[in-house]
Chain A
Amino acid sequence: MPLIWIILAVLALGAAGYVLGRKRAVSSAGGDIRILHSLPNYYGMNVFLSAVVPALLVLVVWLLVQPAVIQRQVTQLIPDNEVMNSGELSLIMSDVRRVADGLDSAVEQGALTREEARMIRTEFTNIRDTLASIGVALGDDVNADVLNAAQRYRSLQNTGNTVMAAAVLILAALGLGYAYSRTHKDFRARNTVERAVLAILILASTIAILTTVGIVLSMVLETRDFFHLYPAREFFFGTEWIPSFEGGSHLGLLPLLWGTLYITFIALLVAVPVGLFSAIYLAEYAGRRMRGMAKPMIEVLAGIPTIVYGLFALITVGPMLRDYFAEPLGFGTSSSSVMTAGIVMGIMLIPFVSSLSDDIINAVPQSLRDGSYGLGATQSETVKQVILPAALPGIVGAILLAASRAIGETMIVVMGAGAAATLSLNPFEAMTTVTVKIVGQLTGDTDFSSPEALVAFALGLTLFAITLGLNILALYIVRKYREQYE
């Protein structure tokens, strides 16, 4: 039974429950809705909620858990020597899934009957060709173990789906029946419904906490595994990054951290003066028309996705810097470099710094400006000696937030900084960052038991810790600053 039908069926049950509950409440009051405890709709709503909510919750949990359970069951069918041969269990499992799905779609398209699909044997049929004819491409011929696993996978999947549909529908029906039986004119339907709604609201707001827990757990557990395989000391203080999937890798954090901080530094070198001066100009000098035009244009920079900046770095800024600066000056011939990524990231951060600073500068009370002008100060003297010192904590907070952005930024450095982990001072040399290596180690077919893949989680945790620290510090400073003027 396709998922959409289950959901629709549950909703239909709920709707029916709504009508029934409402009707029963009204009739229990003898048609006089004034003697009902709550409005009739609440009785309907009560039945609807008790039919739909538990059923859908079970459905969601089931959908999340079932694949994991089936996977575990099917994995046992794959003999160990097979795993040795292909080197990677997940590759075999994806084959298993593809064969199973292929057989399913073969049945759907009528290339095989249901019976044929179930009885199919590697000895008699070339499954690869059969599946290829309906458009399912397999990399290899299907062997008996894989087919066996695939059949098991299909049957489990089938059973699971059937049981799930049954369980969900029965639960919905039970909920409906229970709530319906309780519907009576004295039943406090509104209070019950409101309690249920409040529970749903609370549940929704705990998702933020669950996400954080998920983030931390997912990284901490894997990082712990990583440190079992690779000494933590060498990770944190190692100066070499030479991963090799045959083992014997050097996975030192320092060159990555150096690249990250160098690029962040250059990005801030671009973004802070430009952003700050733009904010000052917009807040203190620009007329209304100028402000109305320039401010949105600068803010457009904030709405551009980072992938676009990455592309900009790759096809325009990188080659330009190489042709006009790096090569003539003898700094190297690489178009991806610290400079490329840093400048482009700086451009990305301009609106970030400028709009935060704009807010902060505007929060400085007008009376301070008046006081300074009244003493005969020029506008720039007022800005430099009164407004900026007054706004300084806020601006420092804004810069810290920008730095945390820069450290966590991925696409621009993936496309603009390069992949070589070096500890160099030359800004026109390609370097790499923590985020680049997270992407590098986790994309493609990865073996999640090797230190080369697990190191990405340790990198992720490091990144998370650094940015979290910066954010908390920045928010603390900004909040302190706000209090000063409130």
Chain B
Amino acid sequence: MDDMNDMRMVERAVDDKDLKITAKGVDVFYGDTHAIKGVDVEILDKTVTAFIGPSGCGKSTFLRCLNRMNDTIDICRVTGQILLDSEDIYHQKVDPVQLRAKVGMVFQKPNPFPKSIYDNVAYGPRIHGLARNKAELDEIVETSLRRAALWEEAKDRLDQPGTGLSGGQQQRLCIARAVATSPEVLLMDEPCSALDPIATAQVEELIDELRARFSVVIVTHSMQQAARVSQKTAFFHLGELVEFGETSQIFTNPKDPRTESYITGRIG
């Protein structure tokens, strides 16, 4: 395993990519708690960006700002500016529903709907009206399942409930489900924390492949995982963005002492 990781580190040459998301001075409050303090970050297209940090540091909270999932929590308040392709996603004209079609999300625990595998994947395209007819929908479902590397395992049981799959398969189904709406950005909130090592490896491999089409942002508590899958890494601590840069630089040559303590296992 270690060998493989080193290989990837080397291969990871970051070239100039388009800017996908820009966050400027983002603050988040839960009631009276100041959860995120003045975060600035730039997320590139066709890149995997990892958010790392000790638990409770605000990395998940910040991730949920990027597709306005925090809107569903009553007491949560977000200030500052987050631009998606230079459009402010918190602008009053923006419909979060439309935004979330562009910025998909995969959650910590696999959460397939209690429907068939097919209906799970078709859910997004159906509500967004992406398919004109059944044939198109079938095609979207197949493509998405293929992109999530689940087609071979699932093609014969599309009408069976998604909850009947194994944990790793369920998570890949959730990724397929998110991919099916053709998002531009894919947010992943600790997608492997509920999976066993083999399933984790499969999902990580998949993330690397998804990079070809999407901008991927992944929150992880595992530094190894961040090192394995990401090109950019942001380190959060106590609601602040401490350091943001090339993954290789963060892990080999951190600038901030706090990052260094965390990487070497002294915080967290």
Contacts and interface: CB of A to CB of B under 8 A. Distances in A.
Direct contact of A and B (CB under 8 A): yes
Interface of A: 287-288, 365, 367-378, 381, 385-386, 389-390, 484
Contact of A385 (B100, B101, B127): B127
A204 to B, nearest CB: 42
Contact of A368 (B106, B111, B124): B111
A287 B74 contact: yes
20 contacts: A287-B74, A288-B74, A367-B109, A367-B111, A368-B111, A368-B113, A370-B69, A370-B111, A371-B107, A371-B112, A373-B69, A374-B67, A374-B187, A375-B100, A375-B177, A375-B178, A378-B127, A385-B123, A386-B113, A390-B114
Contacts of B106: 374
A389 B67 CA distance: 26
B72 interface: yes
A123 to B, nearest CB: 87
A376 B128 contact: yes
Nearest to A390: B114
A372 B113 contact: yes
Contacts of B111: 365, 367-368, 370-371
Contacts of A371: 107, 111-113, 174, 177
A376 B113 contact: no
Given A378-B97, A381-B127, A373 B72 contact: yes
Interface string B123-135: 1100110000000
A374 B104 contact: yes
A386 B127 CA distance: 12
A396 to B, nearest CB: 15
Contact of B107 (A370, A378, A390): A370
Interface size grouping (class) on chain B: 20 to 34
Interface in B98-156: 98-101, 104-107, 109, 111-115, 123-124, 127-128
B181 interface: yes
A389 B162 CA distance: 14
B130 to A, nearest CB: 11
Nearest to B125: A375
Contacts of A374: 67, 69, 100, 104-107, 178, 187
B135 to A, nearest CB: 22
B245 to A, nearest CB: 28
A344 to B, nearest CB: 36
Contacts of B72: 369-370, 373
Contacts of B187: 374
A375 B74 contact: no
Contacts of B178: 374-375
A369 B100 CA distance: 14
B25 to A, nearest CB: 25
A389 B115 contact: yes
Contacts of A378: 97, 127
B120 to A, nearest CB: 9
A436 B263 CA distance: 78
A381 B181 CA distance: 15
Interface string B193-216: 000000000000000000000000
Nearest first, the 5 closest Cβ-Cβ pairs linking A and B are: A374-B105, A376-B100, A376-B101, A367-B111, A371-B111
A367 B171 CA distance: 13
B99 A376 contact: yes
B123 A375 contact: yes
Given A374-B105, A376-B128, A389-B113, 8 more contacts: A367-B107, A369-B72, A370-B107, A371-B107, A374-B187, A375-B100, A375-B105, A389-B114
A381 B106 CA distance: 19
Contacts of A386: 113
Contacts of A369: 72
A370 B109 CA distance: 11
Given A288-B74, A370-B107, A386-B113, A375 B127 contact: yes
**Residue of B72, B74, B98, B112 ringed by the most chain A CB atoms within 10 A:** B72
B57 to A, nearest CB: 20
Nearest to A370: B107
Interface string B58-94: 0000000001010010100000000000000000000
A377 B124 CA distance: 7
Contacts of B101: 375-376
Contacts of B99: 376
A375 B107 contact: no
Nearest to B115: A389
A372 B123 contact: yes
A389 B115 CA distance: 8
